[in-house]
Amino acid sequence: MTTASLGLSRDDRPILIAALFILVILVAGTVYTFARFGSAPLLSPTYLLQQLQIGAFLGIVAAGMMMVILIAQIDLSVPWTLAAAAMMATSIGGPLAIPVGLGVGLVVGLINGIGVAYLRVPSMIFTLGVNAVMRGLMVAHTGGYAPQTAATDLMRMLAGDRTLGIPNALFVWAAVSVIVTIILQRTALGRYVYAIGNKEAAAYLAGVDTRRVTVICFVLCGLAAALAGVLLAGYSTKAYQGMGDAYLLPSIAAVVIGGTNILGGRGRYLGTLIGVVLIVLLNSVLSIMDMPEAGRQVIYGLVIIFMLLVYGRGERVTS
């Protein structure tokens, strides 16, 4: 492994490259807007804050997704965990709205974790099934129509309002980020997460309760998706069908672009943060350019492949 060629650790390199790429996006976008409209919205703090506010929901989902990817699993139940949390929160309403929403995430995470850790069903398929079940429950619950219930004031305040000119959603995202960073860097749980992702057998033989850690990671992922759902419902003042669909693939992409190994065990939260910002900014530049959905998808895919090719490739299996 000769990643030290730049004097950087293996984990820093992708983060730095992604950060540089963000700069490239900002510069290219600004050049474009300046040439076309004679203005530079991308450099205005108001616009950036607004974009980041929207990005907060993705950021929170990605934080949870990262916990699961770090232990070499994946959670495909995020879309309907998010939607279910939003729907349950809005239909319960009142002061219990947010706890109930988060409770949905907790339960889903618990079920996912037990299926993966104790039954050892591949997470790819187990969480897929759980996603279908959640979708089924919600479709049955709402009758397939847009729910008529509305977000509570607290939810709207957390997601839509501003404090000192800064969107509250950013504070929530920041809080989640601080918690995840502390877990990953400062707690025993965080060490176990990396250990399991690197070599589950070695972690197990070191006396780590690998099953408990796996369950905790899925619970955290479920909680994060639920929190994002509650906030998103607050932001759009209501819950709606399929509101989580747009968060699954981007959250995985953000984690991977941030340098986290999709096979687990490696990656820093800062990277995920930067990955989210990159995706959010890429999206805003593309909308400023009036890029049709088609072009966005193509560019989106090419960026992921390009970044991964630049980060360095996996090792070859020989024996």
Partner 1 sequence: MSDAVLTRHAFLTLSGISKRYAGVRALEGVDFACERGKIHAVLGENGAGKSTLIKIISGVVQPDSGSMRLAGQDVSFATPSAANAAGVVCIFQELSLMPDLSVADNISISSPPRRFGLIDARAQRRRAEQLLAEIGCEDVNPLMRVRDLPLSRRQVVEIAKALGKKPQLLILDEATSALTSADVEKVYAMLARLKAEGVAILYISHRMHEVEALADRASVFRNGRHIETFDKGKRSTADIVQLMIGRDIATQYPPKPPRGSPPPVLDIENLSWDRRLDRISLRVGAGEIVGLGGLDGQGQKSLLLALFGVLRGVTGQIIVEGREVRPGSPAAAKSVGIALVPEDRKTEGLMLPMSIADNLVIASLDAISTGPLVDRARESDMIKRAIARLQIKIGAPGDAVSTLSGGNQQKVVLAKWLMTEPKLILLNDPTRGIDVGTKQELYRLMRELADQGAAILFYSTDYDELIGCCDRVAIMYDGRIVRELEGDELTETNIIASALNIDAATPDAAGATHA
Partner 2 sequence: MLDDIAIRVRQNIGIVTAVLLFTILYLLYNLAHPKGFSSAVLVQNGDEIFALAMLAMAQTVPVLASGLDLSVGAVMTMVGCFASYLLTGAGGTPLHLDIFGLHLGLGTFPGGVSGILLGIVVCLAIGALAGFINGCIVVYGRIQPIIATLATGAVYIGIALFLRPTPGGKIDEDLNWALTNSLGDFAATVHIFGDGAAAWFAPIAWIPVPFVLLILIALLVWVPFRRSVLGRAVYAVGSAEGAAYMSGLPIDRAKIAAFTLAGFFAGCGGLFLAIQTSSGNADIPQAGAYTLNSIASVVIGGTSLLGGTGSAIGSIFGAMVLRVISFFFRIFDIAPLLQPLFEGLILLGAVCIGALGVLRVKNTLELFR
Are the C-beta atoms of 194 and 70 separated by less than 8 Å? yes
Q: What's the farthest any 2 CA atoms get from each other in the chain?
A: 63
The distance from CA 165 to its chain's CA centroid, rounded to whole angstroms, is 25
HEC per residue, 37-105: HCCCHHHCHHHHHHHHHHHHHHHHHHHHHHHHHHCCCCCCCHHHHHHHHHHHHHHHCHHHHHHHHHHHH
Number of residues that bind partner 1 (CB under 8 A): 23
Give the residue among 29, 54, 55 at the shortest CA–CA distance from 44: 29
Q: Tell me how far apart the alpha carbons of residues 254 and 271 are, in angstroms, rounded to a whole number.
A: 8
Is residue 269 near partner 1 by the rule CB under 8 A? no
Question: Which of the stretches 99-107, 215-223, 279-287, 291-299 binds partner 2 when contact is defined by CB under 8 A?
Answer: 291-299
Is residue 208 near partner 1 by the rule CB under 8 A? yes
- Under DSSP, the state recorded for 6 is G
Q: In this chain, which of 194, 240, 300, 311 binds partner 1, going by CB under 8 A?
A: 194
Question: Which of the stretches 65-73, 123-131, 196-204, 225-233 binds partner 1 when contact is defined by CB under 8 A?
Answer: 196-204
Site for partner 2, residues 95 to 124, rule: CB under 8 A: 115, 119-122, 124
Q: In this chain, which of 23, 24, 182, 302 binds partner 1, going by CB under 8 A?
A: 182
Bridge partners (DSSP) of residue 162 are 167
Are the C-beta atoms of 83 and 138 separated by less than 8 Å? yes
Q: In this chain, which of 201, 294, 309, 317 binds partner 1, going by CB under 8 A?
A: 201
Q: Residue 305: CB partners within 8 Å, gap ≥ 6?
A: none
Q: Tell me how far apart the alpha carbons of residues 222 and 225 are, in angstroms, rounded to a whole number.
A: 5
Token pair belonging to 138: 């919600």
Which partner from the list partner 1, partner 2, none does 119 bind, CB cut-off 5 to 8 Å by kind?
A: partner 2
Q: Tell me how far apart the alpha carbons of residues 111 and 126 are, in angstroms, rounded to a whole number.
A: 9
Site string for partner 2, 207-246 (x = CB under 8 A): -----------------------------------x--x-
Task: Give the containing element (helix H, strand E) for 244.
Answer: none
Q: In this chain, which of 80, 126, 192, 247 binds partner 1, going by CB under 8 A?
A: 192
Q: In this chain, which of 20, 31, 206, 298 binds partner 1, going by CB under 8 A?
A: 206
Q: Tell me how far apart the alpha carbons of residues 34 and 281 are, in angstroms, rounded to a whole number.
A: 17
Is residue 1 near partner 2 by the rule CB under 8 A? no
Is residue 49 near partner 2 by the rule CB under 8 A? no
Rounded alpha-carbon distances, angstroms, from residue 24 to 30, 108, 140: 10, 39, 46
Q: Tell me how far apart the alpha carbons of residues 216 and 202 are, in angstroms, rounded to a whole number.
A: 19
> 234 vs 259, which CB is nearer to partner 1?
259
Is residue 181 near partner 1 by the rule CB under 8 A? no
Which partner from the list partner 2, partner 1, none does 206 bind, CB cut-off 5 to 8 Å by kind?
A: partner 1
> 3 vs 237, which CB is nearer to partner 2?
3
Q: In this chain, which of 27, 96, 186, 306 binds partner 1, going by CB under 8 A?
A: 186
- Under DSSP, the state recorded for 246 is G
Is residue 270 near partner 1 by the rule CB under 8 A? no
Which partner from the list partner 2, partner 1, none does 293 bind, CB cut-off 5 to 8 Å by kind?
A: partner 2
> 1 vs 294, which CB is nearer to partner 1?
1
Q: List residues binding partner 1 (CB under 8 A).
A: 1, 182, 186-189, 191-192, 194-195, 198-199, 201-209, 265-266
What residues make contact with partner 2 under the rule CB under 8 A? 74, 76, 115, 119-122, 124-126, 128-137, 139-140, 143-144, 200-201, 204-205, 242, 245, 249, 252-253, 256, 262-263, 292-302, 304-305, 308-309, 313-319
